[in-house]
Structure 1
Amino acid sequence: MDRSDIESALDTVIEEFPFGRQYVAGKREWIHTIIKQIDSHTSIGDSILSVGCGPCDIEAVLSQLGYDVTAVDDLNDQWHLIGNNQTRIREFADKMGIDLIVASAGEGLPSDDYDLVTAIEVLEHVDSPRVFLNDCVNSLATGGTILVTTPNSVRLTNRIRTLFGRSTGVGAGFIYWNIGKFRSHIKEYTPSELEQIAEYTGLTNINIELKTLTPKKAQEQTDSYLIKMLLTLYQVVTRIRPTFRDKQILTGKKPVTWKSTEASIEQFSRYYPHMANYNLDNVNDDEIKDAIFSAHKNEDS
């Protein structure tokens, strides 16, 4: 796929996108990066399921390029709920030829044997990566590819913020003033953690690439020679040390023998010793899981 093909699709999407040009144009290079990855694992016309699609911007580009795109999102981010924004997203998806399913990933995803399943900047927002990734992989055809993008929690910008006593997570003001369910980043992963949960999920051919975006975006927004020099230095450092880069792109395959990863008290106890230390009544694992699921279901209802 040529860069010019992606540019042409991007231009079409930017013109039609209902929330202004900058939303899509501002991440043009990132979209190029994602689509190049997708192109290396697919052929035009393949079926793609995008989980957590938001306003369908990247999905629209894929559809314009000739992919058969299904997208899933509950459209319940706070800004989605303002005025007619949900309707705008639905109408945009329809115009771009996307089959948009408005539903939560936690309610289960279509199991139509997709060639590729994507979760673009979603994993860091979910409170159960096991359940989420199980659902994503279940939707894949055997031998199909899952592609997950997520921030690198040990990126250089985070290390610099820590050095100067700044938080690397969501700001206190955001959390304090948040209205409704908290939907921002719950957990960002290091590259080794991302590989670990991919292995837990039962993927094969696991590959993680790290990408740097910060300097490219910032250099376009400054005329300061000093800042440009610092950003160039940033690029050099992240080129030498890949683990300092901003973003991670995980790909993996669904093997013939794949089975969903079930909840495990034994595994959970390795990371939460209270489960073993305070099982004073010698309750068996199935009963413990039933009690937990029942209580937490009641909390959510």
Structure 2
Amino acid sequence: MAKTSILASEAQHFGSLAGDWWDPKGASAMLHKLNPVRLGFIREQLDRHFGLDECDLKPLAGKSALDIGCGAGLLAEPLARMGAKVTAVDAAPELIDAAKAHAGAQGLDIDYRAGEVAAVEAQYDLVTALEVIEHVADPHDFLKVVVSKLADDGLLILSTPNKTPLSKLLTITLAEGTGRIPRGTHDYDQFIPPEQLEEMLAAEGMEPIETRGIAFSPTKGLHLSEDLRLNYLIAARRV
């Protein structure tokens, strides 16, 4: 637990994007397009896991959420609007500063923290780490810490690129190559196939309950799919 999960180069890279993080046409434009898809999956899993009313506008009222690798708050803010008491942590102080400023302007009370998730002491009903595990020093050690922050009856949701020729082509060769994603954002060697991530979760006493792909098509754009080749989300609970 004493080892850091943070790679300084990754924190510096993402910190450099803080200035226009909330610009839907800026350097983080792809995250803005990805976010509604991720939120759809999260809401679906929340309703199923906690037995919530799918029409409830504040389904997380009375529940706590921890968003790991929160950036400047693209996920943390919707979770707060859903009624959760949100703690959000990121390795880049610049992103946390941007997150605090944006949340303040929106009138949202979110506990933003810069640094290690290991320093967070509480446990949470919902823990999310979206597009994070491929950017850490040791995925196994990172996942162990992540799971330790989950309440016994809580829900964990992860997302990450699959390690396939298609993900390399679309995410790195095309998206980074054409500037749609900032160059250097991804390292294909760090990508994790879903079966490997499911094994890692099982080793930490977690049961994957749903795995869905995020696919792309010219007609639908980014959307939830049974096709896991590009990117995928996993929901898991304690065994």
2:21–2:72: 8 Å Cα contact kept in structure 1?
Answer: no
* Identity rate, percent: 23
Please show how residues 258-277 of structure 1 align to structure 2 within 5 Å: none
* Other-structure match for 1:206: 208
* Other-structure match for 2:238: 254
Change (3 A) 1:137 1:198: same
* Other-structure match for 1:92: 102
Change (3 A) 1:246 1:254: same
The partner residue of 1:62 within 79, 89, 96 is 79
1:111–1:138: 8 Å Cα contact kept in structure 2?
Answer: no
2: CA distance, partners of 1:47 / 1:254: 17
Gaps of 5+ in 2: 1-19, 51-58
Higher strand share: 2
* Other-structure match for 2:154: 144
Q: Which amino acid in the other structure matches residue 123 of structure 1? A: I
Whether 1:195 and 2:203 are equivalent positions in the alignment is: no
Change (3 A) 1:37 1:18: same
* Other-structure match for 2:70: 53
Gaps of 5+ in 1: 1-16, 222-230, 256-301
* Aligned residue-pair number: 201
Secondary structure of the 2:190 match is coil
1: CA distance, partners of 2:79 / 2:91: 20
TM-score for the superposition, normalised by structure 2: 0.68
Root-mean-square deviation (CA, aligned residues, Å) is 3.7
* Other-structure match for 2:113: 101
Q: Which amino acid in the other structure matches residue 41 of structure 2? A: T
* Other-structure match for 2:17: none
Change (3 A) 1:41 1:98: farther
Q: Return the offset for 1:121.
A: 0.9
Whether 1:129 and 2:135 are equivalent positions in the alignment is: no
Q: Which amino acid in the other structure matches residue 237 of structure 2? A: K
Change (3 A) 1:101 1:109: same
Higher helix share: 1
Q: Relative contact order (C-alpha < 8 Å, sep 6+): which is higher?
A: 2
TM-score for the superposition, normalised by structure 1: 0.55
Q: Return the offset for 1:127.
A: 2.4
Secondary structure of the 2:157 match is strand
Whether 1:36 and 2:44 are equivalent positions in the alignment is: yes
* Other-structure match for 1:74: 91
1:154–1:243: 8 Å Cα contact kept in structure 2?
Answer: no
2:215–2:228: 8 Å Cα contact kept in structure 1?
Answer: no
Q: Return the offset for 1:64.
A: 0.8
* Other-structure match for 1:265: none
* Higher-Rg member (1/2): 1
